Amino acid sequence: MGTHSHQTHNFSAQFDFSGKPKTWSLIAMVIGVIAVLYGFLLDPSEFHGERTFANLLLMGYYFTCVCAAGAFFLAIQYVAQAGWSAGLLRIPQAFSKVLPIASVILVLICAAGLFFHHNVIEDGKQVEVPFLYKHWATHGLADPQSEHYDPIIAAKSAFLNIPFFLGRLVIFLAIYSILAAMLVKFSENEDLNGGLSNYKKSFTYSTIFLVLFGFTTPVWAFDVVMSLEAHWFSTMFGWYNFAAMWVSGLCAMTVIIILMKRAGYLTWINQNHLHDLGKLIFAFSIFWTYVWFAQFLLIWYANMSEETVYFYKRWEPEFKPWFWLNIVINFVAPVLLLMSRDSKRKESSLLFVAILLLLGHWLDYYIMIMPGTVGAEGRGFGITEIGIAIGFVGLFTFLVLNALSKTSLVPKNHPFLDESLHHQI
Amino acid sequence: MSAHHESILREPLITGDNITYAKITNDVLDPVENKPNKAWWIGFTIAAIGALIWVVAVSYTFWTGIGAWGLNKTVGWAWDITGFVWWVGIGHAGTLISAILLLFRQNWRNSINRSAEAMTIFAVICAATYVVSHMGRPWLAYFCLPLPNQFGSLWVNFNSPLIWDVFAISTYFSVSLVFWYTGLLPDIASIRDRATGLRRRIYSILSFGWNGSVKTWQRFESVSLILAGVSTPLVLSVHTIVSMDFATSLEPGWHTTIFPPYFVAGAIFSGFAMVQTLLLVVRKVMGFENYITMFHIESMNKIILVTGSIVGVAYLTEFFIAWYSGSEYEQYTFLNRFIGPYWWAGCMMYGCNVLMTQLMWFKKIRTSIPASWALSIVVNIGMWFERFVIIVISLHRDYIPSSWAMFYPTVVDAAVFIGSIGVFFTLFLLFLRVLPAIAMAEVKLLLKGASHQAKKKLIAENKVDPEQVQYYKQSLVKFDSVPEAETV
């Protein structure tokens, strides 16, 4: 069983979470808190409260999606009986460990956004609206007696109402978190006890995870993002969000793996593994574009007003450059930069593209979220946006690295570990 | 993955004892080098009768015009486009197996890719016949090519997805053909080397001078990889564009953004079902049990289950958004699939594609050959109904109730459809006689590492963990090609 390779790697080494990574992630979190405080209290603009909430939602959702993508990656590897990835499974497992925390944060953001209200002037009248989901959660929209009555929203109110909305969100995220935690637990038990029983259990529970995840993620995206513009609908939206989640999850994994390697860990992860990660990033960036384009083309082509309104808003001058930049970063960049074999195998180029795509998918979510919240008048890119994003990056880094420092960096009894160590393409 | 370090947990891709390179060649070339048996002749006769029916029905259509079909003002597209989409969908599995599974380094593709690719090509041919025959005046087929204006001022409408279809499908067909043929080269050379006389001359020309040198193999490997990279987006593009034939319209039930990936998933689903339908028979009749093993059958069933479930998610999304949209036309369209006059077609669609495939969750069913075969037929039927439901049920009752109508197929409609199945099987059966149904050269690559005999050798040398050996042996219980004595 290729024992020669075991001597060159230290499988029991644990990640030491201290020094610069710890300091910087804590600083980033402080920046995030300051940005939130700035957004709520100091920002002079008219939309400051809503804008802060919109950014919190953006990053809370992004954060949860990346962690969920880690759990999804883990489950896929077990179900597909993948060998190549056995040596890097601790990274998506760390994402899975952070998923419950991310979920709680996302639920709190959504709940707070629905709970806290502010007054806005709409058609000359003062209306009290929640900070998030005002298009369906404003009081009276579903009430025929109310002056705010909206028959289209009323027809959806069996689905879009606060208890059911929050209930769904909690249940979905709880399911993902619990199953992801089980997968992590099996892998850690495998380290202690060896044998195949944990592997077999991982297979079974991964299948359950994938089925539940596959059937519920579209609804998750419809809820958290699509319902911000509650009149609008697109059947593709769920898979579009899935594609963004999957690409950004792969990129986050790649960034952490490369930086860990540079810090002297994960010596058993070599160019071949990076090449595979690069191929996945490349392929799914194209898949993301495919889904983006199909949704865009069909709506543009049919030109039905209830659908085109979505892109109409994104083609207003405030958003249009960002709208196209989204395609440049998330499609053109990976296609051109990751096409060649060498660029996928070189740490520096892969790291660059992965970070670029993580920024790109922030922009992707920005384009999805901002027009339905602050709108063109309130759109901004400043302290609130940058600060909150930095804060969440710090939080994610801190929690993931902390999770990584708790166990050894390799599932040493994984039955396909030997295949992974000798992976060559 | 390098064969040396392949885990013992992985199920064998080749079973049987005393399998050698020579034996693989002999087994695979047996039907090519010998006279056909009775089973082949029976199958061929039936298929050829079907093809004859097709010739008659299509000729009749050409002669009288498409008024020979049951179309009317409301339902102007029915069995023709249903058949077209059904065949194009079936034509997806081959390239998926050859390209996408190659990119994912799924070695089990090696013994099924050849016939799957052949099937793809024949299915696309069948689909193309619908395109031509539904033109009404097929001698003007060149109108869909961007020809110079000397042909008249009627220029191709590049805004039409039907034109995109012409390009997508012809590109797909060309690349699939090249991919399939490139893969055939080493095998054709093997036939050439064993043949004499005229036969040798023919296969010699067909082999493009393949000499088996290291250089030819290197080129073979790199061209396969490049073609795999090129065909992967093509597989997606074809059914994407087929879906846009519908989704760009304003028709409720057609215009929905999820259509492209949903159609692609459905196409892979139906394609794998057809591969399963064909290979389970081929495997038995030609004695390929050692090369197309239970692992292959189960893996294909798993893909059918996954893609069937993806299609299920798309169905549910469509239902949900139809309700959520608040558009009464959308809502009625989906309700009409169950309560309208074609309710039985709706039930066939959802029942066969989603409910029946869920049976594949049971290992007993996934690994039973009769059940797999029956379910593959169920999926073939279900996917035909899916297209019928999307096309005819959406059209027959849309915005204006005064124009609602029913569609009734004519004998010619039925004959064209049944005939196209005959054409398909005729081509497939001829293929089995002249070219190897299994990619010998690629299967041989697996012999040293991934075969049951190689694994037995490893076990005999005591090099592997006993618990894993036990796991491996237990996994062999389902294999009909491994003697029971070796499974405990």
Q: Are B88 and B168 in contact (CB under 8 A)?
A: no
pLDDT at B2: 44
Asked whether the beta carbons of residue B321 and residue A196 sit closer than 8 angstroms, the reply is no
Q: Does B399 touch chain A if contact means CB atoms closer than 8 Å?
A: no
Distance CA B313, CA B417 (A): 29
Look up the pTM and report it: 0.94
Chain A touched by B35 (CB under 8 Å): no
- Is B471 in the A-facing interface, judged by CB distances under 8 Å? yes
Is A419 contained in some domain?
no
Q: Does B6 touch chain A (CB under 8 A)?
A: yes
Around B398, how many Cα atoms within 13 Å sit in the side-chain half-sphere?
Answer: 17
Low-confidence ranges of chain A (pLDDT < 50): 1-6
List the single residue in B with minimal CA-CA distance to A231. B325
How many Å apart are CA B120 and CA B90, to the nearest integer?
Answer: 7
Instruction: Name the residue in chain A with its Cα closest to that of B100.
Output: A283
A301 and B248 within 8 Å at the Cβ level: the answer is yes
- Report CB contact under 8 Å: B260, A290: yes
Measured from the Cβ of residue B408, the count of other Cβ atoms closer than 10 Å reads: 10
Residue-level pLDDT at B3: 53
Please list every residue in chain A whose beta carbon sits closer than 8 Å to the beta carbon of residue B474: none
Q: What are the helix (H) ranges across B402-451?
A: 411-434, 440-444, 447-450
Q: Is B463 on the interface with A (CB under 8 A)?
A: yes
Distances, alpha carbon B362 to alpha carbons A207, B10, B28, B98, in Å: 13, 20, 32, 27
pLDDT at A208: 97
Which of A423, A284, A282, A277 has its CA nearest to residue A345?
A277
Phi-psi region of B18 (alpha: psi -120 to 50; beta: other; left: phi over 0): left
Q: Do A302 and B248 touch (CB under 8 A)?
A: yes
Of A238, A302, A419, the CB nearest to B317: A238
For residue A116, tell me if it sits in a domain: yes
The torsion angle over the Cα atoms of residues B145, B148, B153 and B156, rounded to 10 degrees, is 30
Contacts of B249 in chain A (CB under 8 A): 302
Between CA A280 and CA A277 the distance in angstroms is 5
The identity of residue B192, as a single letter, is R
Cβ-nearest to A298 among B248, B321, B324: B248
A34/chain B closest Cα distance in angstroms: 39
Give the count of Cβ contacts less than 8 A between chain A and B: 113
Using a CB–CB cutoff of 8 Å, tell me whether B248 touches chain A.
Answer: yes
Subunit contact A298:B471, Cβ cutoff 8 A: no
C-alpha A341: how far from chain center = 27
- By residue range, what is the domain housing residue A384? 13-401
Q: How many folded domains does chain A comprise?
A: 1
Q: Quick check: B261 and A239 CB within 8 A?
A: yes
Contact B1 A423 (CB under 8 A): yes
| pLDDT value of position A10 | 83
Q: Cβ–Cβ of B313/A214 closer than 8 Å? A: yes
Q: Which residues of A touch B259 (CB under 8 A)?
A: 235, 294, 298
Q: Among all residues of chain B, which has the CA nearest to that of A2?
A: B5
Residue B155 confidence (pLDDT): 73
Helix pair angle (B294-325, A197-224), 10° resolution: 20
- Is residue A345 one of the residues assigned to a domain? yes
- State whether residue B365 sits within 8 Å of chain A by CB: no
In a domain, A178, yes or no: yes
Smallest Cβ–Cβ distance between A419 and the set B6, B464, B465 belongs to B6
Kindly determine whether residue B1 and residue A304, on different chains, have CB atoms separated by under 8 Å.
no
Q: Give A237's contacts in chain B (Cβ within 8 Å).
A: 257
User: Looking at the domain assignment, is residue A2 inside a domain?
Assistant: no
Contact call for B261 and A237, based on CB within 8 A: no
Q: Is the CB of residue B2 less than 8 Å away from at least one CB of chain A?
A: yes
Rounded distance, CA A78 to CA A203, Å? Answer: 5
**Please, what is the Cα angle at A277 between A59 and A185, to 5 degrees?**
70
The H-assigned helical ranges of A225-346 are: 237-262, 271-302, 305-314, 320-327, 333-338, 341-345
In Å, how far is B299's CA from the nearest CA of chain A? 10
CA torsion A191-A194-A195-A199 (nearest 10°) is 0
pLDDT attached to residue A9: 83
| Residue A6 belongs to a domain | no
Task: Note whether A133 and A54 are within 8 A (CB).
Answer: no
pLDDT at residue number B153: 63
Put simply, the answer to whether B313 touches A215 (Cβ < 8 Å) is: yes
Report if residue A409 sits inside a domain: no
Contact B7 A196 (CB under 8 A): no
Chain A contact set for B309 (CB, 8 A): 211, 214
Specify whether the backbone of B292 is left (phi greater than 0), alpha (psi in -120 to 50) or beta. beta
Determine the Cα–Cα distance for residues B325 and B331; give it in Å rounded to an integer: 8
**Which residues in chain A are contacts of B6 at CB distance < 8 A?**
83, 419
Q: Give the best residue of B226, B243, B258 to mutate against chain A (max A CB count within 10 A).
A: B258
List CB contacts (< 8 A) between B257 and chain A.
234-237, 294-295, 298-299
Q: How many CA atoms lie within 13 A of A263 on its CB side?
A: 17
Contacts of A151 in chain B (CB under 8 A): 326
Phi, psi of A157 (to 5 degrees): -70, -15
Block mean pLDDT (10 aa), chain B, length 488: 72 91 93 90 96 95 92 92 94 84 88 92 92 86 78 76 89 91 94 93 94 92 89 90 94 94 94 94 91 94 95 95 94 94 95 93 94 96 96 94 94 95 96 93 90 89 88 90 81
Query: CA-CA distance, A393 to A21, in Å (whole number)?
Result: 12
A54: closest CA of chain B, how far (Å): 24
